[in-house]
Structure 1
Amino acid sequence: MKPYFSDQDVTLYLGDAAEILPMLGTFDAVVTDPPYGETALNWDVYPIGWPELVTGHTSSMWCFGSMRMFLDHFDDFAGWRMSQDVVWNKGLGTSPATDRFRRVHEHVLHFYRGHWRDIHHDTPRIQLMGRARGGRTSSRPGPSTHSVYGPSTWQDTGRRLVESVLYAPKDRTGTSSNPTQKPVGVLELLIAYSVPPGGIVLDPFAGSGSTAVAARNSGRRAVLIEKREQQCDAIVQRLAQGILHLDGQR
């Protein structure tokens, strides 16, 4: 199977994920944005059963989607356990409905299989503004039955967990190659969490190629699958523009 594009960081395949996945190996994680099936775009058809296709290739998966998509296709995720949900606040409403709240967010759910202790997870942290209270320690002693997370000990270094609501503006320049393009800054956090440095991430619905850009920026590798040749061409052109992108959208 010949890739559409390949370099030291990214391998891109043109075709249907259902046909290409059986020929691929295993990956540290899947990070993907499948079609939600909520627009009139001719390619926006939810690929029923796709989560089952990746079960033999990874035990960790981040999936973008609307609440409607996840609930309508709840059975597709049987066999996967959800560890957490993240909200991407994109600051721009996309719903044409005028009788509901203007939706400015999308969900990103993290699923896993097997034992949580075996799943790579390295939670990103950020530096607090102001002087850090370094050296202080805190603990929550007691049996694990007191908390679903069990006892923990930590040292206050002035850094805190990244919060579960991520603010990143949706591209408004009109230069995106895909109308549902996701911000690289958000994808970098998801990849840093679930893929070790030097590891490899799979995106079976590559779209605009943001997962590849985020992986390369983060010192990881990526394998992409995209069934639209026009999008594959756009991904190749995008990857040729360089590694560092400061606006979080490229």
Structure 2
Amino acid sequence: MHLFAMLRLILLGTTLLFSLITLGLAANLVDKLGDQWSFPGFAVAVSVLTILAVVPMIVIDLLRRGALMSWVVVELPIMGILWVLWLSSAALSTSVGLFLGDCSSFSFDSALESLCRQYSALQAFSWLNWLLVKTYVIVTLALAILALMKGHKRVWFSPVSDLSFSPTHTHSGEPKIPPPATAPGGYNPDPRMAHNHSASPSSGYPPNQPPTLYSPPSGQYPPQQQPYQSPYPNQGPAQYGSPVQTYQSPPPHAAQV
């Protein structure tokens, strides 16, 4: 699991945990305050929507990789809507100003002090959830655009967990081939033709150049001797019982005529 996949699980898991805490706090405030204030009910609704959205994102991506729910084009708009909802919930609970000052000033009434602390905690977790969802949306969108610029044309229909801080896609959408190690002499053979080079007798030579034959240095081997040629004409094999013929050179005066 690469870095962004781990970061995604951490952000979604923390958002789910904070949503459960906010749900409990808001439900208790609804029970204590009734219908006098609207912000606890709105916080309950946002928390429930977040739980219903985040749990399938985590579970489906772990159980079935590449499912529709985990696509960038599906998950990014959902988290964008939750971003706006959490911002509205946090701003609404803060603008009410139900308790002003420090909650310890209500120590004379334990029930009132507890209600004040719950209200303050609701504001804090609402803002924290907004910050987490905002970070998730911005990082996911940035990585999707980066992958699109690298040539991943179907990035919007790929799982969010496949996004990476260093995408390895070319402009044709195919994964990059890592650069081969430099061979002695500065020549880098094509890794896709490595099997051809291993079977070829001219492996290791640059293209369009024939291999150079080895020639030993002069003087290391003796020169080749010409075969011996007889001065007598070839008269065929000698036969048993035939007279021996001798060769006579012509007289000197015959050569001058």
- Point out the structure with max Rg over C-alpha: 2
Higher strand share: 1
TM-score class normalised by the smaller sequence: under 0.3
> Which protein has the bigger helix share?
2
Q: Higher relative contact order at CA 8 Å, sep ≥6: structure 1 or structure 2?
A: 1
